[in-house]
Chains A and B, each alone.
Chain A
Amino acid sequence: MKHAQKTFQRKITSASNIATFAAAFVATSAMIVTANASAADPVTVVSWGGSYGAAQDAALFNDASKNSGIEIIRESGASMSKTCLQVESGSVNWDLVVTGSGGSAAAAAKGCLEKIDYSVVDVSDFYPNLYTDYCVGSDVFATVMAWNTEKYGEPGSEGAPSSWADFFDVEKFPGTRAYRANNVDGALEPAIMADGVPPEQVYEVLSTREGKERAINKIREIKDHIAVFWESGAMQAQLMKDAEVDMSTGWNGRFDNAAKDGAKVGYTFNQALLDYDCFAIPKGAPNKEMAMKFLAEVSKPEYQANLPFHITYGPTNKKAYEITTASKELVESLPSHPKNVPLMSPVSLDWYAEHRDEALEMYMELLSE
């Protein structure tokens, strides 16, 4: 009797166990099914820190995510070398990554990026040359020459520096300089222009070893006057704010933000290097399709039109200029504004793809002297 009761109880318990299991199983599979059905995995969007990433959040990402219903996870520390590491080790967890144009070209050559699907992403209103097979331009910036306005005068005023030749002329403009550290991007072009090569022939001259040596020698001439080599945009701004140097190369938006913070800094677009940042999708990104849709959303002019309010980098979508509510003065200060573009020379991605490695080795040799 007792025995039977026990067995009975045991049966009940085991039955309830099975029931629980079954319920749990149904529940989980239901969850999996719903997950598949809506494909609502968030898209991991990776950008840079500081004022740049904050500007993109405010102008692009937050609104694009809200309007499209695509959930995103925001991360910082974007880097093409980390992207390639993820791809090569087969554990990709980034979906959309911000990069410089040169970095994207190098990463694409290494096979680290997905091809952009231009049937999803609409670039019909984009400036030409601001998108490639692997990268869609997000903003346009310029590598400019900036200086302490107390020392050399306001930009455009009588006697103020106006070309790269002035940057390299330490007799006409005595004082300290800052130049790029440990990276050759945008480092040789100013030197070769200062040495008398017209902007349209810069990359032709730099394609030979002699041309590169000529640029390096030009930098060597003023090396004793280069007080600091900068490593980042934040450092460019800091150096001008602290008046640690009198003249520096750097990215226009960073100098504008430094001026907003009270730094006595001005710059010119004359002979500047026109370049752009872009969005790339790592090869094998876990949420590739949604990333492509999100990329299509943020590339729309209505988001790009808000970017100038947060950082003075220009839109890549021409239409953004038509619909932006920013003041005329602000709009005309953007690097991609039609008034400014003719003053500058665009960076050649082809040259970087072919010559960057050799140029970097030569530049590092100069820096280590």
Chain B
Amino acid sequence: MMVAKSENAVATSSAHTSGASAPGDRSGHELHAKELKQQQRREQWSLLSLALPGALIVFFVIVIPVSWLFFLSFLGSDGEPTLQHYRKMIEYKSYARTFSTTFQVSLFTTLICIAIGYPLAYFLAQLPARWAGIFMLAVLLPFWTSLLVRTYAWLVLLQRKGILNDFAMQIGLWDSPVKLVHNMTGTLIGMAHIMLPFLVLPLYSAMRKIERDLMHAASNLGASPARAFWHIYMPLSISGMVAGSLIVFILCLGFYVTPAVLGGGKVIMVSTQITAILENQFNWGAASALGVVLLIATLLLLFVAARVFKFDAALFGKG
């Protein structure tokens, strides 16, 4: 889909330039059209060859290993084909629960990121470019800091005798320590913090592209600021929001470190269970089967969501 689209863009742009270089040349029209077509084809090929290294990497680093995992998941420890790894996922309830936890954590993290990230991106987009750059550092600096460091920093802040609990008890906000970490709350706080830039960056660039004149025109025509926002600004920024949310959601599905450190062993993600199976049972087949199910569940979910929310348009720019 992406390829087809860019080829079209090339075709139109090359047609434009050639047309401009030879205005009113009627006698060579036929020849010209032929040349144009050849040129177009050459450009298509050169574009394809530009994409070749990327395509090769995807093939060798993603397609082959994932197919290998898929194949492994149907092999028993004796090397015979079997469905035992999938049967085990039905037999023990822990697997269904792990998947449900994984999707819940990803969904909640995405929602928190939208709730915090949208106003933040809006604020940044309204600022003059220089100020926006400075405020953007507040988003980017944590982004450039190691994930592990940020995760442990949250642990220090949130634990029973941590800075936050100490402070709140000193000023009398609460009497006994509140459980802020080693549970779902801590996990979501940490993950939302780590994921926020992935939502803000695409959203900010989408908002920057919105013409201010549109808002002026709306108020000129009598729309209240709220109405102008909901009817003009929001729909135009939605593509950036969908793109950002999708990145956040999908990255969350594979998270390991943050839930392991801040979840206190109570937030068990699919990645945690894969590690447990590998470390304890050395069972590549069972671990692969979990990976395969997660991949398929994610693809299905995205497919359905794309249909329901019609965000394929937003993703691929057809709108």
> Any chain B CB within 8 A of the CB of A70?
no
- A247 close to chain B: CB less than 8 A: no
Q: Does B265 contact A (CB under 8 A)?
A: yes
Whether A343 sits at the interface, judged by CB under 8 Å, is: no
- Inter-subunit contact B279/A81 (CB<8 Å): yes
B278 contacts A by Cβ under 8 Å: yes
Cβ-defined contact, B92 with A228, below 8 A: no
Query: Does A364 lie at the interface of the complex (its beta carbon under 8 Å from any beta carbon of B)?
Result: yes
Q: How far is the CA of A151 from the CA of B284 in the complex (A)?
A: 45
**A368 contacts B182, C-beta separation under 8 Å:** no
Q: Which residues of A contact B161 (CB under 8 A)?
A: 242-244
Say yes or no for A356: interface residue by CB 8 A criterion: yes
Q: Is the CB of B276 within 8 A of A360?
A: yes
Q: Does A261 contact B (CB under 8 A)?
A: no
- Pick out which of these stretches binds chain A: B21-29, B267-275, B303-311: B267-275
Chain A residues contacting B260 (CB-CB under 8 Å) are: 231
Shortest distance between the CB of B222 and any CB in chain A (Å):
56
A360 to B282, CA, bound (A): 13
Within 8 A of A (CB), among B248-272: 260, 264-266, 268, 272
Asked if A364 and B282 make an inter-chain contact with CB atoms under 8 angstroms apart, the answer reads no
Q: Which of B160, B265, B281 contacts A231 (CB 8 A)?
A: B265
Give the segment of A123-131, A177-185, A269-277, A334-342 that binds chain B: A177-185
What is the number of residues of chain B that contact chain A, defined by CB distance less than 8 Å?
28
* Given A231-B260, A244-B159, A367-B265: A361 and B92 interface contact (C-beta under 8 Å): yes
A356's contact among B92, B97, B179, B280, by CB below 8 Å, is which? B280
Interface bracket on A: 20 to 34
Nearest chain B CB to A329 CB, angstrom units: 31
Residues of A within 8 A of B160 (CB): 176, 227, 242-244
Interchain CB contact under 8 A, A367 and B268: yes
Q: Do A368 and B101 touch across chains, with their CB atoms under 8 A apart? A: yes
Q: A80-B282, A229-B264, A242-B161 are in contact. Are A182 and B275 (CB under 8 A)?
A: yes
Answer whether residue A110 sits at the interface, using C-beta atoms and an 8 A cutoff.
Answer: yes
State whether the Cβ of A147 lies closer than 8 Å to any Cβ in chain B: no
Where chain A touches its partner, the secondary structure class is: mixed
Of A242, A360, A367, the residue contacting B281 (CB under 8 A) is A360
Whole-angstrom distance between the Cβ of B56 and the nearest chain A Cβ = 23
**Known contacts A110-B282, A243-B160, A357-B281, A365 near B268 by CB under 8 Å:** no
- Give the residues in chain B near A81, CB-CB below 8 Å: 278-279, 282
Sorted nearest first, the 8 A-B pairs with minimum C-beta distance are A229-B265, A181-B265, A368-B97, A228-B264, A182-B276, A368-B94, A365-B94, A364-B94
* B interface residue numbers (CB < 8 A to A): 77, 88, 92-94, 97-98, 101, 159-161, 179, 182, 260, 264-266, 268, 272-273, 275-276, 278-282, 284
28 residue pairs bridging A and B, Cβ less than 8 Å apart: A80-B282, A110-B77, A110-B282, A112-B282, A181-B265, A182-B276, A183-B279, A183-B280, A227-B264, A228-B182, A228-B265, A229-B266, A231-B265, A242-B161, A243-B161, A244-B182, A356-B280, A356-B281, A360-B281, A364-B268, A364-B276, A365-B92, A367-B94, A367-B266, A367-B268, A368-B93, A368-B94, A368-B97
Could you list 6 further interchain pairs (A-B, Cβ under 8 angstroms) beyond the known A227-B179, A229-B265, A242-B161?
A80-B282, A106-B280, A112-B282, A227-B264, A360-B280, A367-B265
